[in-house]
Amino acid sequence: MVSPVHIVSIGLITAFLLGLGKKSQQQMLVFVLMIATAAMTMVSGSWLIGLMTGSLKPTDVFTAGFKPPFAINLRMTMDEAVLTTMVNVFGFLTVIYLFDVLKKAGKHLLSIIVVFLIGLNVVVMTRDLFNLFVFLEITSIATAGLVIIIQDSKSISAGFKFLMASSVISGILLIGIIFAYSYVGNLNIDFMTNLSMVKGGAVAVFLVMTAIILESKQFPANGWALDMYESAHPAIGSALSAVSAPAILFVVYKLMPMVPENWHPVIGLLGLITFAFSNFLATRQENIRRMLGYSSVAQGGLMLTVVAMSVYFGQSFWFIILGFLLTNFFAKAGLFWLNGIVNSDDQNKWGILRKRPVLFFLFGVFVVAMAGLPPFPTFFAKWEMIMQLAQGNGWGWIVLILLGSIFEIAFLFKWFGRVFHAVKDQPAEPVIPWFKEFPVMLFGAGILATSYYFIKYQQFDNLFVLIPLLIVAAFVVIDFLPAFIKNILLIAALTFYGYIIYPEIKGNIMQLVFMSVFLVGGILTLIPGFATKGTRAGFYPFAAMTIFGLIMLVNPGDNLTFFMGWEQMALGSYILILRGKKAERPAQQYMLFSAGGAYLMLAAFGMLPHFAGDTFFGNLSGLIPGAGVVFVLFALGFMLKTAAIGLHIWLPGAYSEAEDDATPLVSGVLINAGVLGLFWIVTSFGPQQLFGYDIFQLMGWIGAITAIGGNMLAIYEEDMKRLIAYSSVGAMGYIIFALSMDSKLGLLIALYYMVLHFIYKTMLFMSAAGVIYRTKTRNMYEMGGLIKSMPWSFIVVLIGIITLAGMPPLAGFAGKWMFYNAVVMKGWYLQGTMVFFSGIVAFLYLYKLIASVFLGQLKDNHRRVKEAPFVYLLPQFIFVIAIMVLSIFPQVLLEPLATIIPDRVPGEAILWDGRLAMTSFGYWNAFAVMTTVIVMFATIFLWLTYHSRKAQKVKQFNIVFAAERPFRPETTHVSYNMFAGYKKALGWLMTPLATQFWTGISDWSTAIADKVRSWYTGNGQTYAMHLLLYAFVLYLLISGGKIL
């Protein structure tokens, strides 16, 4: 086996020999460099493979043939093998990527690149402190050389700032090394683990450690690094982020044994502060390279934390660090490289990626991987890290991580959304040479492969996790097929999945109910997709991801599966929403709120084991001190998804701006995930208290206010989809209220209403989609009189709103009847009245919906409008049939639902006597009600028909127009500003407090971020001072003001 030292000798010989090359041979020299980096890769790669398969043993290379500490030794174990392979592979790809630059640049740059790689290799491998210093210096100078590939004034001054900073850092490092030597009498890291124990030795450790921490670019002493990221060639930024930073962090890892145990948390916390703040500042960046720079720094901070706490993390350490390291390696490098391909720091210019589906896909993969969403390694690493921190009660740490993560998501998805919607007509077809695309694709493959191993390592359930993931992956692969084929395939896949999953869950009614909602909902909402032509690229993978994400929620096998499903569903639906034409901002809001909710849940999952062990559906009933906090975190997380008032502002935009036929899926089906979660916590936690308050009482109020607020907001909407969307807010308020009653009847109502809302809301949205599909508008005042041209859609809407309004004889009435009973039993009269009142409010907007769209005058431009396509109507009528069945035989649904509710829940259940439902307050027979209503209706109808047999049919224009010609005809439409009177009277209730609050938060954070980042003055001297200041503060933190 080739000794690892020959990585260095190969590199150096190449570097030196390149000097002999002539100008005319430049291209050949580039190939020589390529071969050399390939050879270096092969040496380290062969060690990696050898060590992995066990055919090689970890070795120490003794230079000069003397054992340490007498001579310098290099070490090659698994760690070093991984890192050197990363460095060398990266070097090889960089040479390829920079092929065009290198061809013109002259031989010196080639030498600098190879020396840079050598430097990093030795920094990783060496066990000698002074040798480490020497090779760090080599790396620094080489870095300075690489920064100035583009020799513009920006990069030159950034390079100088870097040199200044690096001089200060190396000064601190060297003085530390010298002190260390003078205390322990040698320079080998393995022989100075007792350094901090020697009197005064702690100062040496402090200096060395500080220098390395500064070198790892921690906030806020990292202005020099950011400027470098911003001005250097993207390929170099990529190198700094993907290989330099990990090498430095590995040095921290090597040095950790010297560092006293009580310093570990301090260093760890510094890393987290970097993570949170850098991501925070990145949200304010418009310049892509600088933003990526902030992001790189942030990732470095997170990894520093993990490394500093390696002792604490114990067994999980490798899992966590590899998750972060590899994701950062592949994804960050990929993003920088893409930046080089796009060749612009302007987000809007990135639209050219849209013309290259593969590159755009990889861009998405990198962004999602960086954001820590499943199925990528960071997701698992973050989960594990938080679970571990929670075990040690590291709540402050968790808050920092989650804050940083949410900022990270904010800027990453802002970027992604912008690119997604960037104008597609960029000047000319982009010409992207193969050598620029190749490395990106390779790293894309790398991150996917890594994810595969991470998922495999987790040993997930086959049926609930692996098969869904495989199906999603399959849809990514077949995305080039025509839409209708994919539609058929996805429906088939879902049906088949239902077939194989049914035997698994048929014993558990709860799983069965939710699974049916998600599966049936998924299938039915896909059917209208047959009307779309073309390939509909990028829709099906994410539709599949959303539906299968929901499916994962149903299996409570373990917390991770649930959380993974949750995140997957959020990601999938985000893309579905983003696909809408004007959906950039709403989708961004949706993502932020989703992520916020998810992180609250993540924190709650961290706390959960303190109360319930590892089980998901643990029985936590009874007042457990502190469990209230967990409950509240979960409840907030789920209520974000169900859009409780105050947390709802993302909903109208997201639902209405999504593609019309995707809306039923992301609203009607998906919102039930929140209900599932709420139901789960309500049943498993039972009544809990927070600071002495009864949480259920609080939730009841939230539910009531949400119900009324959502409905109030709906009545003023002119936009058909927004109206229905707001009505969802109201309906969810109703469900939250019902759940918080925590009685048998209350929970039953919640479940029943969940199913019912799923049915009518999906139906209404589909019907709306059909109408919009034909009329090409969402404004209701531009419609009218569509009853004749779209009678079937009218019937669906009619049935839908009768159900929604809870009027007999349809199924909604059952809910209302039970609701009266439950409220009276519980005694929540005030809140109950509010909810009833919200029902009345609902009539207003329902009337508006049906009257202004289907009744009244037909518009001229809608004269030729046809009925909605059959594929739209088919699922709607399946739902109509379901409603009819439920209306006549509600017990079909209610009886099984009642069995889900655990016995612990207090209160009276419904007694069934055939078709008769009874409580202590009364009884109700759906069948009888239906019969009565039909008879009444039929009688009146016949009577009317008889009476109006002589009536004359009037055509639309069979009346004389007044001589008036309105300036804006649409303002004369009945639904234009329809409830203006109510708005005048109750408008003050509608003050968008929630919107103001969230806007305030956003403005406030913008202002803070701008204040904080003005710290980076751009002056190299100030940056150098920051370094010293950082060291000073670190000293105070570590020593507590005493002499070490």
Contacts (CB under 8 A) with another protein, residues 90-129: 105-106, 108-109, 111-112, 115, 118-119, 122, 126, 128
User: What residues are paired with 61 via a beta bridge?
Assistant: 74
Per the rule left: phi > 0, alpha: psi between -120 and 50, beta: everything else, 777 is beta
- Interface residue with another protein, options 26, 39, 160, 611 (CB under 8 A): 160
1043 scored as a contact of another protein (CB under 8 A): yes
16 scored as a contact of another protein (CB under 8 A): yes
Give the whole-angstrom CA distance, residue 900 versus residue 747: 9
Give the whole-angstrom CA distance, residue 849 versus residue 763: 14
Contact between 166 and 231 (Cβ < 8 Å): no
1042 scored as a contact of another protein (CB under 8 A): no
Cβ proximity to another protein: between 156 and 474 the closer is: 156
Read off the tokens for 234: 């993207």
User: What residues are paired with 924 via a beta bridge?
Assistant: 917
Footprint on residues 705-724 left by another protein (CB under 8 A) = none
CB of residue 197 to another protein, shortest distance in Å:
13
The span of 151-159, 334-342, 362-370, 706-714 binding another protein (CB under 8 A) equals: 151-159
Cβ proximity to another protein: between 21 and 646 the closer is: 21
The span of 13-21, 614-622, 700-708, 800-808 binding another protein (CB under 8 A) equals: 13-21
Exposed, middle or buried: residue 903 (CB in 10 Å: 0-12, 13-18, 19+)?
exposed
Cβ proximity to another protein: between 168 and 640 the closer is: 168
| Helical packing angle, 627-641 and 695-715, nearest 10° | 10
Cβ proximity to another protein: between 61 and 878 the closer is: 61
Footprint on residues 190-229 left by another protein (CB under 8 A) = 199-200, 203, 207, 223, 226-227
- Interface residue with another protein, options 40, 142, 493, 900 (CB under 8 A): 142
Cβ proximity to another protein: between 260 and 896 the closer is: 260
Cβ proximity to another protein: between 6 and 355 the closer is: 6
Cβ proximity to another protein: between 131 and 378 the closer is: 131
CB of residue 204 to another protein, shortest distance in Å:
8
- Interface residue with another protein, options 82, 95, 124, 144 (CB under 8 A): 144
Give the whole-angstrom CA distance, residue 704 versus residue 350: 46
User: What residues are paired with 75 via a beta bridge?
Assistant: 60
Q: What SS3 state is found at 782? A: helix
Cβ proximity to another protein: between 152 and 614 the closer is: 152
Give the whole-angstrom CA distance, residue 1032 versus residue 214: 12
Site map for another protein, 61-90, x if CB under 8 A? xxxxxx--xxxx-x----------------
Give the whole-angstrom CA distance, residue 845 versus residue 983: 13
Footprint on residues 344-403 left by another protein (CB under 8 A) = none
CB of residue 700 to another protein, shortest distance in Å:
48
647 scored as a contact of another protein (CB under 8 A): no
Q: How far is CA 749 from the centre of its chain?
A: 32
CB of residue 406 to another protein, shortest distance in Å:
22
Cβ proximity to another protein: between 145 and 521 the closer is: 145
Cβ atoms within 10 A of the Cβ of 552, count? Answer: 25
- Interface residue with another protein, options 430, 915, 1035, 1037 (CB under 8 A): 1035
- Interface residue with another protein, options 27, 55, 151, 977 (CB under 8 A): 151
Give the whole-angstrom CA distance, residue 633 versus residue 360: 36
| Three-class HEC string of 866-889 | CCCCHHHHHHHHHHHHHHHHHHHC
Cβ proximity to another protein: between 141 and 858 the closer is: 141
Footprint on residues 163-182 left by another protein (CB under 8 A) = 163-164, 166-168, 170-171, 174-175, 178-179, 181-182
Give the whole-angstrom CA distance, residue 414 versus residue 284: 11
Contact between 72 and 128 (Cβ < 8 Å): yes
Q: Count residues near another protein (CB under 8 A).
A: 102
- Interface residue with another protein, options 59, 77, 186, 779 (CB under 8 A): 186
Cβ proximity to another protein: between 922 and 1018 the closer is: 1018
Cβ proximity to another protein: between 201 and 674 the closer is: 201
Cβ atoms within 10 A of the Cβ of 977, count? Answer: 13
DSSP code, position 197? G
- Interface residue with another protein, options 24, 53, 57, 153 (CB under 8 A): 153
Sheet (strand 916-919) strand order: 911-913, 916-919, 922-925
Footprint on residues 1007-1026 left by another protein (CB under 8 A) = 1013-1014, 1016-1021, 1024-1025
Task: Give the C-alpha distances (Å, rounded to integers) separating 1026 from 244, 295, 443, 1013.
Answer: 21, 20, 35, 13
The span of 157-165, 211-219, 539-547, 941-949 binding another protein (CB under 8 A) equals: 157-165
Contact between 404 and 347 (Cβ < 8 Å): no
Q: Which residues are CB-neighbours of 366 under 8 A, at least 6 positions away?
A: 330, 331, 332, 334, 335, 338, 444, 447
Site map for another protein, 249-288, x if CB under 8 A? ----------------------------------------
CB of residue 73 to another protein, shortest distance in Å:
9
Footprint on residues 908-967 left by another protein (CB under 8 A) = none
CB of residue 361 to another protein, shortest distance in Å:
32
- Interface residue with another protein, options 99, 183, 542, 794 (CB under 8 A): 183
CB of residue 289 to another protein, shortest distance in Å:
10
What is the signed CA dihedral for 332, 335, 339, 345, rounded to 10 degrees? -80
CB of residue 363 to another protein, shortest distance in Å:
25
Read off the tokens for 76: 């090659």
Q: How far is CA 595 from the centre of its chain?
A: 5
Cβ proximity to another protein: between 453 and 1032 the closer is: 1032
Cβ proximity to another protein: between 106 and 433 the closer is: 106
Cβ proximity to another protein: between 286 and 614 the closer is: 286
E strand residue ranges, 9-84: 59-62, 73-76
Give the whole-angstrom CA distance, residue 838 versus residue 844: 10
DSSP code, position 642? T
Q: Which residues are CB-neighbours of 1042 under 8 A, at least 6 positions away?
A: none
Footprint on residues 290-319 left by another protein (CB under 8 A) = 290
- Interface residue with another protein, options 134, 442, 855, 974 (CB under 8 A): 134
Site map for another protein, 827-866, x if CB under 8 A? ----------------------------------------
Tracing tokens 């519980």 back to the chain, one arrives at 826
Cβ proximity to another protein: between 21 and 357 the closer is: 21
Q: b/e per residue, 268-279, with b = 16+ CB within 10 A?
A: bbbbbbbbbbbb
Give the whole-angstrom CA distance, residue 386 versus residue 380: 10
Q: What SS3 state is found at 1025? A: helix
Footprint on residues 508-567 left by another protein (CB under 8 A) = none
Q: b/e per residue, 955-970, with b = 16+ CB within 10 A?
A: eeeeeeeeeeeeeeee
CB of residue 49 to another protein, shortest distance in Å:
22
1029 scored as a contact of another protein (CB under 8 A): yes
Q: Which helix H or strand E contains 60, and what residues bound it? A: strand 59-62
Cβ proximity to another protein: between 179 and 634 the closer is: 179
Contact between 722 and 715 (Cβ < 8 Å): no
239 scored as a contact of another protein (CB under 8 A): no
6 scored as a contact of another protein (CB under 8 A): yes
Cβ proximity to another protein: between 69 and 372 the closer is: 69
Cα angle, residue 949 at apex, residues 948 and 951 outer, rounded to 5°: 60
